[in-house]
Each structure stands twice: as structure tokens, then as C-alpha cells.
Amino acid sequence: MNFLILKAYAQGITAPSGVNTNTTFDKLYNNVLDQIVTPIIYLLFALALIYFFWGVFQFIKNADNETERENGKWHMIWGVIGMFIMISAKGLINIILATLGLK
């Protein structure tokens, strides 16, 4: 609720004539998402992908050792879970932005 009040207040503020202001709340919010949140999500996705491939490498390399294969299998499982969480986070952010009309 407070977010909507702040958004309405920010849209009602106008700058004096001749002043170029490109910093509305929506633009600031979108810049934070585009410049900070989205790269962090992509970085975490890349780390989960690397973790998954490390598990694949361990699984193949240690084909004769059951405990190391199990360890590699769990790395793969947690890597897939991590990638799913990152894709879901990005999708959830896009759904929220579209619902609120911010993007």
C-alpha cells in the first residue's frame, strides 16, 4: 500500500521548466532491476550451472567409486535446483512488474 502512495506521489512531482529530469520512481526502479538485480540473478544462475557441471565431472570421473559418484549426483541435483530457483526468480519479478505496470 505504501508503495502505491509513493508511486502516486512521485508521479505528481514536476520539475521547474527547463530542467530535464529523467529520474521518476519507475525509471529508478527499472534501472535498479536492470543494473543490479538482473545481473545478480544471471551470476547466480551461472554459478548453479558451473556447480551442475562440476557434479557431472565428478560423476563421470569417479565411476568406480560409489561414494564419490553419489557426491557428484547430489552436486547435479542441487545445481538443477539452483538453476530452477534463478529462472523462477526472474519470472516472478517479470510477473510482478507486468502486474503493477512498471515494465
pLDDT in tens, 61-102: 998 999 999 999 999 999 999 999 999 999 998 899 889 887
Q: Which residue has the cell 534501472?
A: 31
Residue 40's closest CA among 85, 96, 86, 102?
86
Question: What is the count of structural domains for the chain?
Answer: 1
Q: Taking Cα atoms as reference points, which of 9, 37, 12 lies closest to residue 97?
A: 37
What span, in angstroms and rounded, lies between the C-alpha atoms of 98 and 52? 32
Q: What is the DSSP secondary structure assignment for residue 35, as one 8-state letter? A: I
Query: Would residue 71 count as lying in a domain?
Result: yes
Domain presence at residue 13:
no
> Comparing 19 with 56, which gets the higher pLDDT?
56
Which one-letter amino acid corresponds to residue 35? Q
Residue 47 lies in a domain: yes
Range of the domain at 48: 23-100
The answer to the question of residue 11 being in a domain is no
What is the C-alpha separation between 60 and 52, in angstroms, rounded? 13
Q: What is the CA 25 to chain-centroid distance, rounded?
A: 20
* Residue 44 within any structural domain of the chain: yes
Q: What is the pTM of this model?
A: 0.67
The verdict on residue 93 lying in a domain is yes
Render pLDDT for 35-69 as a digit per residue (tens, 0 to 9).
998 899 999 999 999 999 999 999 999 989 999 99
State the pLDDT at residue 3: 56
Which pLDDT does position 24 carry in this prediction?
79
